[in-house]
Amino acid sequence: MFMVGLVAPLAIEFGASKVLIEGFSETSKIEPFSGQEKWMEYFNRVLRSLNVPIQVDWKNRGEMDVVKDLLINRPSWLSHVCNCFSAPCYRIPIRESWERNAPTFPLYDSQCGSCVKCRITNLGRLLHDPAMKRVQPEDISYFLKTTAKWIPDKWETHKDMLEGSFMREYVKALKKYHHEYLSAK
């Protein structure tokens, strides 16, 4: 809802009555405030009670579905909306490692290739971006194998981002590229 709070004044200025946000199709009772549908509905009631002429609407999507939607409808936007979690001082050496080990696996300028956000984006690209057909099989294999090793190392700290959509799509990628033998956790 924080984003809606930021966007609401602009939406009102432009005469919009609705702000459409990405909802979450996979939530639990411990999900943060903005991740649950019931809280979005409550937020709309608060807006109405304050006479704010904006309503929040949402489209429930899994994380990989969002990447797929962008690739289908606005492919040029994906490079601008993926945000790497690696500190800038580490990004260059990590990228150099990707260039050495998987030279045909393209990274966006903003990506390190190895953090959770880059892996989410690149997994979605691997499954849904036609441009990824140009990636050499050994470079796809490198991505899948390093991800298989990375998942157990990051599970405790990144579980909320890995379970659900990410793991389901990772298993699809393992099947698509004949790497079912890799452990998916």
If asked whether residues 103 and 128 sit together in one domain, one would say yes
If asked whether residues 79 and 20 sit together in one domain, one would say no
Q: Considering the domain boundaries, does residue 98 fall inside one?
A: yes
If asked whether residues 81 and 129 sit together in one domain, one would say yes
Calculate what percentage of the chain has a pLDDT beyond 70.
Answer: 90
Q: Considering the domain boundaries, does residue 12 fall inside one?
A: yes
Residue 132 pLDDT grade (very low, low, confident, very high; cuts 50, 70, 90): very high
If asked whether residues 11 and 26 sit together in one domain, one would say yes
* Three-state SS letters, 117-145: HHHHHHHHHHHHCHHHHHCCHHHHHHHHH
Domain final position from 12, 38, 61 = 61
If asked whether residues 71 and 131 sit together in one domain, one would say yes
Average pLDDT estimate for 79-93: 91
Give me the domain span that covers residue 57: 2-61
DSSP state of 135: S
Q: Considering the domain boundaries, does residue 185 fall inside one?
A: no
Helix, strand, or coil here: 143? helix
Q: Considering the domain boundaries, does residue 184 fall inside one?
A: no
Residue 167 pLDDT grade (very low, low, confident, very high; cuts 50, 70, 90): very high
Helix, strand, or coil here: 150? helix
Q: How many domains does the chain have?
A: 2
Look at residue 62 in the predicted model and tell me its pLDDT: 72
Whether 123 shows a pLDDT value over 70: the answer reads: yes
